[in-house]
Amino acid sequence: MLSLVKTAWKIMVGVKDALVLLFLIFFFALLYAGLKTARTQESFPSSGALYLALDGPIVEQPRALDQYAVFTGAGGPGEYRLRDVVRAIEAAADDGAIKAVVLDLDGFGGGGQVAMQRVGAALDKVRAAGKPVLTRASYYDDASYMLAAHASEVWLDPLGMVGVTGPGGSGLYFKGLIDRLGVKAHVYRVGTFKSAVEPFTQTGQSPEARAANEALVEAIWSDWLDDIGKARPAARIRDYLADPLALLRANGGDTAKAALAAGLVDKLGDPVAFGSHVASIVGEASDERPGDYAAVPFDSYLRKHKESTGGQVGVVTVAGEIVDGEAAAGMAGGTSIANLIRDAMAEDSVKALVLRVDSPGGSAAASEEIRLALAEARSRGLPVVVSMGNVAASGGYWVSTASDMIFAEPSTITGSIGVFGILPSFEDALAKVGITSDGVKATPLSGEPDVVGGVSPQFNALAQASVEDIYGKFIGLVAGARKMTPQRVDEIGQGRVWAGGMARQLQLVDRFGGVEDAVAEAARRAKLSGDAAGPRYFDPERDPFTQFLGMFASEDADASTAAAPRDLLSYAARQQRQIATRIVRDLRGLIEGPSIRADCLECRAFVPAGGMTPQEQAGWLRALLEATRGL
């Protein structure tokens, strides 16, 4: 008995010592973070150039930090929230302490075309205020050049290149792999153009999908060219793209000089030359190193210009794939978004709602959960206005039907009114390794879906009927919201994807405009004015522990941009990594995706793929390699 007491006492002392140690570690870590922040802030000049080293993509809602990635540094470049970038740039336009805005785009991860246009409009405001906007990169792609075109001066490294290629390219089709593995993909769909399932059922595009994608790419590309033409009329972008090799030969094979000759860039120079030029405008840095200038970093500036919270128009964001249940930021969990909508409704000060949608869709059930929450808000008398971002397709359009008005941009990708389900079964794959199945059934549906023995015809018929039923409900929702007949919705639906310009002609959206226009319309409907007519954002709560860990993530810009593409082949290598990410996520969707989906797989090619999470890297890529070994 005495021995048991001694053992218990030792355990209690050990627990106490561990808790004290954890407390001390936490205390000193917090002290370190505070001192680090204070020292960092003290080192920033009070005036100079607002410096945006965009070493990741601009997105509607950055994904949540991953604890493992914070500890190991495996998370890849960060993501920048669109409204934060816009807020900082527009604040700089009116800030007397900011003499210029500088964009370092060497590590830029891109963004949707609507997002690029919005940042470009903010840069235009800086120039209209009489302040220069300067940008530099070693390589400009479609997205980064769209920002650069709005600058007063565009610099390119002497070894650099403007590598604009336009939207489009090859998609991924897995039918050959699925057949070789012996997996059967059972597909249930409605919609002639519902091509989201084609990667699992075909080796290439169907004629219907090709026609729809060609029209979409043409519309998006035309809008890109129009934006560049207005922002930088002297740039001979069409000539440059018509025959880049001829222009290259005329400039002795020098890619940088070819871009300069076509008026795409203004000056060639390395970072030191560029920095010295900026210093002549905004002042030199205190360290007096060559090429340094008085720079106010984006993060520091953003902290000083916090987002207003006094508005009475609640704004909830649906960003990323729509999934069932709860989900962290960067994914749109049906329950999570519905709860945010109800949080906004619970605030007496909130008099109207704006739903900002930037999603290709996903789960039909989760989309309906979000729509029902919006419908509840409307039933309580709150005006609801939808603002579509880069993509608001399929499930993203489903949630938009519960609104009084829909705003979109000409480059918004929307529509994809269709439903599908996909279910793999493995009877042939198991038979290859000598595993078979057998059993008895009380009814034809007993044990169904039988993914190891083969799905029965009865289950297939029932699943198809279920998908058709949900498609009928989708059609009914759109018909009621857009005041069309179900037959007309079916004609323009069928899973087809539309650019915003055509969507407006088809009356799928009401007006052109951004989130600010949607907020103004919601405020007008709620009879709000002054500060009350402003937005109040309801965002997912960030995990305090992960947020704390994030303070210790590396802030070394050189480290984050070391792998940034600086030539054509480096850019191609980054594209390969993004394709690998899509392969892993598409195959994961085959197994883990919701049963019935209102999803637009082809829409994902028009937004940044983002980095692969450590779990994806460790799990799915290994599973893919194991599955294909020996084939």
125 lies in some domain:
yes
* Res 271 pLDDT > 60: yes
Mean pLDDT of 264-270: 97
Mean pLDDT of 535-561: 61
State how many domains the chain has: 2
Q: Do residue 384 and residue 486 come from a single domain? A: yes
DSSP-based three-state secondary structure for 19? helix
190 lies in some domain:
yes
Q: Do residue 287 and residue 313 come from a single domain? A: no
Q: Do residue 329 and residue 281 come from a single domain? A: no
Rounded CA gap, 468 and 176, in Å?
A: 28
Q: Do residue 495 and residue 528 come from a single domain? A: yes
Q: Do residue 185 and residue 66 come from a single domain? A: no
State the SS3 of 577-596.
HHHHHHHHHHHHHHHHCCCE
Q: Decide which of 260, 280, 304 is a domain's last residue.
A: 304
The residue assigned the tokens 């050189």 is 558
Q: Do residue 221 and residue 295 come from a single domain? A: no
Higher pLDDT, 534 or 78: 534
pLDDT at 136: 97
483 catalytic? Reply is no
Contact 383, 587 (CB under 8 A): no
Rounded CA gap, 549 and 555, in Å?
A: 13
Q: Decide which of 304, 330, 350 is a domain's last residue.
A: 304
pLDDT in tens, 105-130: 998 989 999 999 999 999 999 999 99
Q: Do residue 287 and residue 319 come from a single domain? A: no
- CA nearest 352: which of 531, 524, 538, 541? 524
pLDDT at 495: 83
* Res 218 pLDDT > 90: yes
* Res 206 pLDDT > 60: yes
Among candidate residues 387, 394, 403, 416, the one labeled active-site is 394
394 catalytic? Reply is yes
Give the domain CATH number at 418: 3.90.226.10
Helical pair 364-379 and 457-482, crossing angle rounded to 10 deg: 30
pLDDT in tens, 167-195: 887 777 888 888 888 888 888 888 676 66
Quick one: which H or E segment has residue 272? helix 271-282
Contact 624, 583 (CB under 8 A): yes
Among candidate residues 99, 131, 184, 194, the one labeled active-site is 194
* Res 560 pLDDT > 80: no
Higher pLDDT, 463 or 16: 463
Instruction: Give residue 547's pLDDT band: very low, low, confident or very high (50, 70, 90).
Output: low
Q: Do residue 179 and residue 133 come from a single domain? A: no
pLDDT in tens, 17-70: 666 666 666 555 555 555 455 444 445 777 899 999 998 999 999 987 654 444
* Res 338 pLDDT > 90: yes
6 lies in some domain:
no
Q: Do residue 295 and residue 319 come from a single domain? A: no
Q: Do residue 76 and residue 214 come from a single domain? A: no
Contact 281, 46 (CB under 8 A): no
Alpha helices for 392-456 (secondary structure H): 395-398, 427-432
175 lies in some domain:
yes
pLDDT at 623: 46
Give the domain extent around 475. 169-227+308-435+443-541+572-602
pLDDT at 291: 86
pLDDT at 599: 81
Q: Do residue 285 and residue 315 come from a single domain? A: no
Cis peptide before 594 (omega within 30 of 0): no
Instruction: Give residue 445's pLDDT band: very low, low, confident or very high (50, 70, 90).
Output: confident
Higher pLDDT, 445 or 69: 445
Q: Do residue 67 and residue 194 come from a single domain? A: no
Chain centroid, CA 93 distance in Å: 27
Q: What are phi and psi of 511, to 5 degrees?
A: -140, 160
DSSP-based three-state secondary structure for 419? strand
